Every structure is written in C-alpha cells, then in structure tokens.
C-alpha cells in the first residue's frame, strides 16, 4: 500500500514484533547489542545470540532463570525461590546466583523474545543495514555505519570525506 515491494506492510505484520519490543524494553541490547553479537563494549560481555546453539526451550529457560555464575540476569520473579531453575534452588546456586533483572517478564513475553531471537538473530551472520533499519526503523542514524556493502564501515570513512 504505497510501499515498494510491500516491505513496510510485511514488517508491520511481523509476528515477532512483540518479541522485538521485549528485547528493547528488557534491555537485552544492553549486553547483547541490538544485533545480538554480544561481545565486549557497552553493557557487558554477553555471548553471541547470532552464534548460539540454544533451542527455543533453552532460550526461554535462560531468559527466565539467567545464567548462574555470569552476568546474565533472571527475568522471572521468584526464580530459584518459588520457581526452580536448572533444577536448583537459591541455596543450591549459592554464590553463583545470577543477578535480578531490572524488569520482570511474563511467560508470554519471554516466549515472544525467544521467537524474535530465533527468527531474526540466531544464525543470521554479520549485521546488515537492512537488519539495523528493521530494528531501529527508517531514518535511524545508528544504521549509517552499515551503508554501502551492508557491513559496518571503517571508522576512517568519515575522515576521508573531509579530504580535498
């Protein structure tokens, strides 16, 4: 409807939009980055969701329960207390207790974020301009580094424009 190739209509009806919203609201991108590559830099040293071999059920459990001994927080109220995680209680986990997330999620929100990761992140290779625009929206300046060949441009590209 006025969009070339129907790209906007397709994006608007993407069933994983709810999961993308949870990914943003729960600040998954604070550690995994918008594209899911994780690694060092801002927010933390998270594992790559693009390279993960976790199944949907394992992703749901990881988001619900966090990861003992790491910075991956748990997003379900009562994890390790009223709800066993990885067949463990808070006492079993001891000093390896994962941190509590800044926001708690409902089971349907956790399933939605797992579906989003499986549909748009896991196994998708290096991030591209189109993926960035799909995440942030049309006109996002964040995505400008992916213009051209579709991969992140070298930082020196902007300096080259200033040369005569």
Question: How confident is the model over 110-164, as pLDDT tens digits?
Answer: 999 999 999 999 999 999 999 999 999 998 899 999 987 545 544 433 334 343 3
pLDDT in tens, 54-109: 999 999 999 999 999 999 999 999 999 998 899 999 999 999 999 999 999 999 99
Residue 77: predicted pLDDT: 95
Please list the alpha-helical segments (H only) found in the chain.
7-12, 17-25, 29-32, 56-65, 90-93, 107-120, 129-136, 157-161
In this predicted model, what pLDDT tens digit does every residue of 8-54 receive, in sequence order?
A: 444 456 889 999 999 999 999 989 999 999 876 655 678 999 999 99
Residue 41's region, left for phi above 0, alpha for psi from -120 to 50, else beta, is left
The predicted model scores a pTM of 0.80
Q: Which domains does the chain carry?
A: 14-24+53-122 (1.10.760), 126-164 (no CATH)
CA diameter of the chain: 66
Residues 6+ apart with CB under 8 A from 147: 129, 153
Q: What is the pLDDT of residue 164?
A: 39
Residue 147 confidence (pLDDT): 85
How confident is the model at residue 43, as a pLDDT?
54
Q: What is the pLDDT of residue 155?
A: 41
Spatial distance between the Cα atoms of 36 and 32, rounded to a whole number of angstroms: 5
d(CA 153, CA 93): 43
């Amino acid at each position: 409807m006025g969009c070339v190739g129907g790209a906007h209509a397709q994006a608007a009806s993407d069933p994983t939009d709810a999961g993308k919203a949870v990914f943003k609201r729960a600040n998954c991108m604070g550690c995994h980055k918008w594209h899911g590559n994780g690694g060092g830099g801002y927010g933390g040293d998270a594992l790559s969701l693009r390279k993960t071999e976790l199944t949907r059920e394992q992703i749901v459990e990881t988001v619900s329960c966090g990861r003992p001994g790491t910075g991956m927080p748990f997003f379900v109220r009562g994890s390790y207390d009223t709800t066993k995680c990885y067949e463990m209680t808070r006492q079993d986990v001891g000093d390896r207790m994962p941190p509590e997330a800044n926001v708690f999620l409902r089971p349907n929100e956790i399933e939605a974020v797992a579906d989003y990761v499986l549909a748009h992140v896991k196994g998708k290779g290096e991030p591209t301009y189109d993926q960035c625009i799909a995440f942030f929206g049309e006109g996002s300046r964040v995505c400008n580094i992916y213009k051209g060949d579709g991969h992140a441009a070298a930082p020196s590209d902007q300096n080259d424009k200033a040369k005569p």
